[in-house]
Amino acid sequence: MKTVRSTIFNTGLMALILTACSQPSGTGKDSLIEKQVEELLGKMTLPEKIGQMNQLSPFGSMDEIAGQVRQGEIGSLLNVTDPEKVNEIQKVAVEESRLGIPLLISRDVIHGYKTIFPIPLGQAATFNPQIVEDGARVAAIEASADGIRWTFAPMIDISRDPRWGRIAESCGEDPYLSSIMGVAMVKGFQGDSLNDPTSIAACAKHFIGYGAAEGGRDYNSTFIPERQMRNVYFPPFEAAAKAGCATFMTSFNDNDGVPSTGNTFILKDVLRNEWKYDGMVVTDWASTAEMISHGFCKDEKEAALKSVNAGIDMEMVSGTFIRHLEELVKDGEISEATINNAVRNILRLKFRLGLFDNPYVNTDQHVKYAPEHLAKAKEAAEQSVILLKNNRKTLPFTDKIRTIAVVGPLADAPHDQMGTWVFDGEKAHTQTVLTALKEMYGDKVQFIYEPGLGYSRDKNTGNISKAVSAATRADVVLVCVGEESILSGEAHSLADLHLQGAQNELIAALAKTGKPLVTVIMAGRPLTIEQEVNLSDAVLYAFHPGTMGGPAIADLLFGKVAPSGKTPVTFPKMVGQIPVYYAHNNTGRPASRQETLIDAIPLEAGQTSLGCTSFYMDAGFDPLFPFGYGLSYTTFGYDNLQLANDKLAANGTLEISFDLTNTGKYDGTEVVQLYVQDTFGSVTRPVKELKGFQRVPLKQGEKKTVTFSLPVEELAFWNIDMQKVVEPGEFNLWVGPSSAEGLQTTFTVE
Ligand code: BGC
């Protein structure tokens, strides 16, 4: 029997962050750089300083903005991706502006640049920070080859509402998982040193609370009280700051009446004073000017004033700084010291990136879609797919399967399988499920392709009969459904999360054939798929798996790799259950799960005859799939849970061990999860909180002892006095395959 102990993510969050901090990736002031910043700042006029705080997205030719660059009126450009143009405009900045300050070139490189990895929500489903870091590294290498040195990722907004289209871009509902994945992305983008020409500055966004938009409607207001902010929404951002994330972006929403771009509490009190952050803060797109629409500022001038005084360093595209800051400084409404601080933060980043030494990009690099990048994207996609159901061992396909009907609008959808926030990936490079199956398994199996529907929203049922006919001629039916990429992402919220168009009818018709039905779902969010799951024999949830999604899914279907993904977010049965997340607080009347549901309620039942617990009469209490859920082709047994010491001091470390056995007939990898509950506190505490996880590969029949070390300090929370403390008392602890199952024990902090 072997003992495994992951060096990265079972020793707790602080250890992970410290690993990242020990690398010279962006924080920790370098005295030479500080000297250079001060020298340069000393030479700058007020308009030149304000120019550095201005970011533009040019829509025309470079000539149109060259004049402004020459005058020192622009500090950064976004969305310039042609390396020749980057060099051309950089030359103007460096050789023709008075002080020769290079531009910072930026782009949304969210889950890949050319080689597209699974959407971030899919990456979170891997529970594998290393593959996530590798993905960000690939993205940085490809993007920097086009001159991009700053990306607007990771997005680490806690997302508990799948109606919100941007859940696709998040790491899901959990603060711990989002912290680990956010740090992994920062490390991948920024590499070992920002100064490396393949490193790109990361941006922790959106600070703060954007994922809690009321009703899941994008840009909507949030109402997050300070304690919840600190316990749930801040942790991934604090982790990113401590890991050296070079920049932060404010969010669009107003929280409790204050838009983030004008929020002194989050930008000054918390980010600068509590977390000691010395990176750069940028607004979101036009969010300074949007404070006028919010009704928070009467005009542009006031918007510029409130942003800068709240702690914004750079403004994305609003143009209010360039138009009003000089006057505001002259009027004494903004001090020059405030402007100097903002400019220091910008210049420091430019020095850290090495832009003053070499602002130009080598236009002769051939790194896009490199074979090793595609291999990493395939590995990430394999690990991101979640097996939700597998009745009668329908999967993996065995040698007995000779003919497969391949059906559905996502089976051969090279654009859509890349998902949202793809500006630069090209569909010509995407390998779809259909192409991959034919190429990789076409010598053994006959594939009959009959899509049935043209695209996910297609309501035309005219071709479903052709798909049914293909199904009747096959040994098994593979139906690929889901969402087109345009149905998730920014401003793409939905109020109904059922499969769009006639996809449900397609699945129902295929199920009627009686052939084994395997459903693959590619989507940007958890959809309400109870009916489709019931109709299918096996279900793989692939999110939008990216460029290499096809080969990854093909190998999963044929068992070359066993599924190992786990849900990074709770899957609701019905939209009306939202928000539904595992780490909720208890009510005074928790659901018993024995409640009478709507169809069983007797006529004219007495008002209190059903009991008085917290549940829905139509949906019950439980979601469709809990957080952390996912099957494999094999099965895993958990036993022998032990704590080295069940009474701990506040500075102690809990040592946990248990045996994990592969009890099935395939090799596989299990994501084991560690949860803790503080049974009571000065404020109510979540019923469970994730505190650790590991991917454990096991051969069939193999058994390993798995260990976790949990420092007691990681049990701290923001208490009734708004202090972050560990309150002594009893704790429950679980290790298991999801947030809903596991071995349980207790321990005490004294
Ligand atoms: C989004 C940001 C993005 C920015 C720049 C905004 O609309 O909210 O996440 O980085 O645009 O493209």
Residue 76 alpha carbon to ligand 1 centre in Å: 15
From 157, 490, 493, the mutation candidate for ligand 1 (largest count of ligand atoms within 8 A of CB) is 490
CB of 525 within 6 A of ligand 1: the answer is: no
pLDDT at 604: 97
CB of 157 within 6 A of ligand 1: the answer is: no
CB of 421 within 6 A of ligand 1: the answer is: no
- 79 Cα nearest atom in ligand 1: 12
Residue 285 alpha carbon to ligand 1 centre in Å: 6
- 169 Cα nearest atom in ligand 1: 9
pLDDT at 63: 87
Residue 152 alpha carbon to ligand 1 centre in Å: 7
CB of 537 within 6 A of ligand 1: the answer is: no
Residue 284 alpha carbon to ligand 1 centre in Å: 6
Residue 2 alpha carbon to ligand 1 centre in Å: 47
What does the pLDDT average to over 9-35? 57
Residue nearest to atom 5 of ligand 1 (CA): 285
What does the pLDDT average to over 33-51? 98
Whether 269 is catalytic is: no
pLDDT at 2: 38
Residue nearest to atom 4 of ligand 1 (CA): 285
pLDDT at 533: 98
What does the pLDDT average to over 187-196? 98
Cβ-proximal residues to 209 (8 Å cutoff; 6+ apart), any chain: 157, 222, 224, 229, 233, 251, 253, 255, 260
What does the pLDDT average to over 492-521? 98
Element (H, E) at 66: helix 62-70
Residue nearest to atom 7 of ligand 1 (CA): 285
Indicate if the pLDDT at residue 519 is higher than 90. Answer: yes
Q: Is 656 left (phi over 0), alpha (psi -120 to 50) or beta?
A: beta
CA angle in degrees (0–180, nearest 5) for 281-282-288: 125
CB of 205 within 6 A of ligand 1: the answer is: yes
Predicted confidence (pLDDT) per residue in 339-355, tens digit: 999 999 999 999 999 99
Q: Which amino acid is at 656?
A: I
Question: Which of 108, 174, 284, 313 is an active site residue?
Answer: 284
CB of 152 within 6 A of ligand 1: the answer is: yes
Predicted confidence (pLDDT) per residue in 424-435, tens digit: 999 999 999 999
Residue 268 alpha carbon to ligand 1 centre in Å: 22
pLDDT band, residue 697 (cuts 50/70/90):
very high
- 206 Cα nearest atom in ligand 1: 9
What does the pLDDT average to over 69-74? 98
pLDDT band, residue 19 (cuts 50/70/90):
very low
pLDDT band, residue 62 (cuts 50/70/90):
confident
Ranges of H-type helices in 243-310:
264, 290-293, 300-310
Q: What whole-number distance in Å separates Cα of residue 11 and Cα of residue 345?
A: 33
